[in-house]
Amino acid sequence: MPAIDHKKESRDGLIRARLLHTLGIQKPANRDPEKREHISVNNLLSNDAPIRRRLNDSKEEHNNKKGHVRRLSRKRLVRFNSIVKEKPIASHKRYTERIKRTMWSDTDEIRENAYRNQIEYQAEGMQWESVLEDDEMYMDAKTGELIHPFWVESEDAKILFS
């Protein structure tokens, strides 16, 4: 009997995968985090080009006569480029109502998100160590929205919203 159950589970999984694919929801095998870095919103209500300027809080390294850079200490440190790109951002007072609705949540949306997060956390065993990462989520092919496996795979999810 266990072999039959395994075949049924396998067939059910195949049917579920086909249905999700038809709906445009797919679980990517490998997501390249580098690709996500290139996708960014540069235009934040302005067409101004980024400004390059020196950081005010960076410590200068000392150059010796031969032009070599000498560290100030032997400790291992994290160093940042002392010249950064700065992009002016328009005041929130200039945002349109549509942009405000997109950027900020009202109380109903916050309540819905908190409820959804609570259910997903419970589905993960209420252990922060077992919380799923983005690459373990399903992805809606049309919107790019990440969907927790609980909402796709669980019979309990259907009961909650039926």
- The residue-averaged pLDDT of 82-96 equals 86
Indicate if the pLDDT at residue 126 is higher than 80.
yes
Percent of the chain topping pLDDT 90? 15
| Amino acid identity, position 9 | E
| Amino acid identity, position 26 | Q
* Comparison of pLDDT for 83 and 22, the residue scoring more: 83
Beta-carbon-side half-sphere exposure of residue 3 (alpha carbons within 13 Å): 0
86 in a structural domain: no
Indicate if the pLDDT at residue 13 is higher than 60.
yes
32 in a structural domain: yes
16 in a structural domain: yes
pLDDT for 85 equals 87
**Local confidence band at 117 (pLDDT 50, 70, 90 cut-offs):** very high
CA 21 to chain centre: 22
Cβ-contact 152, 25 below 8 angstroms: yes
Q: Give the angle subtended at the CA of 107 by the CAs of 93 and 99, to the nearest 5°.
A: 30
| Gap between the Cα atoms of 37 and 32, Å rounded | 9
pLDDT for 43 equals 47
Cβ-defined contacts of 77-86 (< 8 Å, 24+): 80/55, 82/54, 82/55, 82/58, 83/52, 83/53, 83/54, 83/55, 84/52, 84/53, 84/54, 84/55, 85/50, 85/51, 85/52, 86/50, 86/51, 86/52, 86/53
- The residue-averaged pLDDT of 50-69 equals 59
127 in a structural domain: yes
| Gap between the Cα atoms of 68 and 72, Å rounded | 13
Least confident range from 45-59, 73-87, 145-159: namely: 45-59
* Comparison of pLDDT for 68 and 86, the residue scoring more: 86
Indicate if the pLDDT at residue 142 is higher than 60.
yes
Number of domains in the chain: 1
What is the widest separation between alpha-carbon atoms in the chain?
Answer: 82
Range of the domain at 101: 2-37+92-160
Question: What residue spans of 51-106 are helical by DSSP H?
Answer: 97-103
155 in a structural domain: yes
149 in a structural domain: yes
121 in a structural domain: yes
pTM attached to this predicted model: 0.42
